[in-house]
Amino acid sequence: MHTLAQLQKQQVGLRLHSYLVEEIDELTKQFSLNRTDIIEEAIKSYISQQKAIILYEGVERACSELKRIKEGDKRIESLGTLEELIDELENS
């Protein structure tokens, strides 16, 4: 969840290619939305996708490490705790 302060709108300026503005305008007409709504939803979607990619990459690394541990790879220097692993995945 977000705080009330985080939910306040802030005006930003950006430059887009003309063809993107035209496509956005087509969507605004089709869905009865304004440019802000379309751009905001696109940004939310992009951020969500990037966070998912980061999470899955971290899970893949953790699974690979666990597989090496299970197979007895002696090169693993420190296992750490589950909390450290979760913290590393969340912050990497």
Write down the domain spans for the chain. Answer: 17-91
Q: How far is CA 47 from CA 3, 41, 43, 80, in A?
A: 19, 10, 6, 30
Side chain identity, residue 66: L
| Helices assigned H by DSSP within 9-76 | 18-31, 35-70
Q: Tokens for 80?
A: 């750490």
The pLDDT tens digits for 17-32 are 999 999 999 999 999 9
The pLDDT tens digits for 31-62 are 999 999 999 999 999 999 999 999 988 888 88
